[in-house]
Amino acid sequence: MGTAALVERLMSARQQLDFAGNLLAKPSPEALESCSSVLEAAGRQLAEWQPTFSQQAGNAAALEEAWRLRRSFVRTSRLLQGAGDFHLNWLRLRGAITGGYTKTGESAPIMHGNRISLRG
């Protein structure tokens, strides 16, 4: 694979991460679902392309785009972690509101009903 092709692939993955990050910056159930699909696709692409990366070791253009990709990854990772933390804290608060506290002072666990989600 040539340098230009590798840089294009890295750029494509970075753009997908940027798109996912923008979805996470304005979270909604639909945005989070879409974000999941985008992140899975980017991950699959990077895993597929990974064996060819070593062929471009030391290439300045590829390295520069790889650093951009890394910055996008870090940003998106932080946004995703923030979304997870928000939901975990909400579950704890909901447990405390509905079930009180345990003997150790932790929020009571929430008893969830069984759910099935189907899409046609």
Nearest to 20 by CA among 64, 66, 78, 68: 78
Residue 112 belongs to a domain: no
* Rounded Cα–Cα distance for residues 8 and 88 (Å): 37
Report yes or no: 80 and 42 within 8 Å, Cβ to Cβ: no
Domains: count for the chain: 1
State percent of the chain over pLDDT 90.
19
| Calculated CA dihedral for residues 96, 100, 102, 105, nearest 10 degrees | 60
The token pair at 58 is 């030391």
Residue 108 belongs to a domain: no
Per-residue pLDDT, 16: 93
Statement: residue 14 has pLDDT above 80: yes
* Rounded Cα–Cα distance for residues 68 and 59 (Å): 14
Residue 118 belongs to a domain: no
Residue 103 belongs to a domain: no
Per-residue pLDDT, 116: 65
Residue 56 belongs to a domain: yes
Structural domain span for residue 33: 3-98
- For the whole model, what pTM was predicted? 0.70
Residue 105 belongs to a domain: no
Residue 107 belongs to a domain: no
Per the listing, tokens 């951009």 go with: 68
Q: Quote the DSSP letter at residue 28.
A: -
Statement: residue 95 has pLDDT above 80: no
pLDDT (tens digit, 9 = 90+) per residue, 37-84?
888 898 888 888 887 777 777 788 888 988 999 999 999 989 888 888
Residue 111 belongs to a domain: no
